[in-house]
Amino acid sequence: MTTENLNAAASGTFKIGGDLEVNRLGYGSMQLTGKGVWGDPKDPDEAVRVLQRAVELGVNFIDTADSYGPFVAEQLIRKALHPYTDGLIIATKAGLTRSGPDDWRPVGRPEYLRQQAELSLRNLGLERIDLFQLHRIDPKVPLEEQLGELEKLRQEGKIRHIGLSEVDVEQLQEASKITKIASVQNLYNLSTRKSEDLLNEAEKQNIAFIPWFPLATGKLAREGGPLDEISKKLNAKPAQVALAWLLRRSPVILPIPGTSTVSHLDENIEAANLQLSDEDFATLDKLSEQE
């Protein structure tokens, strides 16, 4: 496949919240930081090139979070892409605080969430955040207080839509009684499908389902296995096939594969053009390390 054929638009579109149309294959920015999602990346210039290349290839949905760095990813996005092109949707998150590499602690106090939203507006150079996600539900704070503050921010025009991350069906239903939920973001990929029920619920409600860690294939990519055989038949990499499976699995799925190199980004975008036969899709659909 030549680079001229690369475009995220081939993945189809979805309207987040019913009004924000994006190409389904997006980009996740967590890898644009240092080790342990802490501090600056080894090659900041390459990080900028990755973001610019993503937009060049039709990516118009970029997912980030205040805790990536912290704030490193958001600031890189602004450096690389501001002023933003029309139609570019940047989603961010708050609700996890950091004290060091690989350390993540939920904080959902209303005043903290408001503070982080204001900081994200500043760091991203935005007047309004199109999709603001509660990164984790803080068990120490009533959910109505956490989402209630986000709803206030929405009413003030500082955020447009509200999303959740790492929730179950019951939590989504509870949250929906407090405010309109436009998206959910859970760990989900070809080999890990613990959130299958949530995906089905999201599809039922036409809510965007954003799988994080979408490229994971684990033991399923072992040589001689079904994923390996399908990949070789399609002249594709296992991760590309895993992305193609996600795109076909449900029309509400918005994969956000992340990478810190332009070459890997190009490989990921190639998955938008990868067509799985009914037989190959059925074979992959039966695979899971949990089974």
CB atoms within 10 A of CB 196: 12
Query: CB–CB of 171/164 below 8 Å?
Result: yes
Query: CB–CB of 258/285 below 8 Å?
Result: no
pLDDT at 220: 87
Query: CB–CB of 61/77 below 8 Å?
Result: no
Most confident by average pLDDT, 50-59, 207-216, 223-232: 50-59
Give φ, ψ of 141 to 5 degrees: -125, 130
pLDDT digits 0-9 by tens, 43-76: 999 999 999 999 999 999 999 999 999 999 999 9
Percent residues over pLDDT 70 in the chain: 98
Which range (85-99, 176-190, 219-233) has the least confidence? 219-233
Confidence of residue 192 (pLDDT cuts 50, 70, 90): very high
pLDDT at 94: 98
- Written as six digits, the tokens of 147 are 């989402």
In this predicted model, which residue has the larger pLDDT, 1 or 49?
A: 49
Confidence of residue 221 (pLDDT cuts 50, 70, 90): confident
Identify the sign of the CA torsion 121, 125, 126, 131: negative
| pLDDT at 229 exceeding the cut of 50 | yes
Which amino acid, residue 221?
A: A
Of the residues 68, 84, 112, 188, only one is catalytic, namely 68
Classified by CATH at the fold level, domain 7-218+251-259 comes out as: TIM Barrel (3.20.20)
Confidence of residue 288 (pLDDT cuts 50, 70, 90): confident
pLDDT digits 0-9 by tens, 147-175: 999 999 999 999 999 999 999 999 999 99
Q: Taking residues 240-259, what's their average pLDDT?
A: 97
- Written as six digits, the tokens of 276 are 């799985």
pLDDT at 242: 95
Cα 95 to Cα 164: distance, rounded to the nearest angstrom = 10
Burial class (CB in 10 A: 0-12, 13-18, 19+), 261: middle
How far CA 155 is from CA of 148, 162, 180, 227, 260, in Å, comes to 11, 11, 12, 47, 36
Which candidate, 276, 275, 244, places its Cα nearest to that of 257?
244
| pLDDT at 3 exceeding the cut of 60 | no
Which range (38-47, 138-147, 213-222) has the least confidence? 213-222
CB atoms within 10 A of CB 66: 25
Burial class (CB in 10 A: 0-12, 13-18, 19+), 204: exposed
112 is catalytic: no
| pLDDT at 291 exceeding the cut of 60 | no
Which candidate, 173, 69, 108, 192, places its Cα nearest to that of 184?
173
Cα 75 to Cα 247: distance, rounded to the nearest angstrom = 29
Q: Taking residues 136-153, what's their average pLDDT?
A: 98
Q: Taking residues 237-242, what's their average pLDDT?
A: 95
Average pLDDT, the chain: 95
Which pTM was predicted?
0.96
- Written as six digits, the tokens of 124 are 């991203």
Per domain, the residue ranges of the chain are 7-218+251-259
- Return the DSSP state at 220: G
Query: CB–CB of 92/64 below 8 Å?
Result: yes
pLDDT at 259: 96
Confidence of residue 2 (pLDDT cuts 50, 70, 90): very low
pLDDT at 27: 98
Which amino acid, residue 192?
A: T
Which candidate, 173, 155, 154, places its Cα nearest to that of 164?
173
Query: CB–CB of 273/10 below 8 Å?
Result: yes
Query: 163: which strand partners?
Result: 133, 183
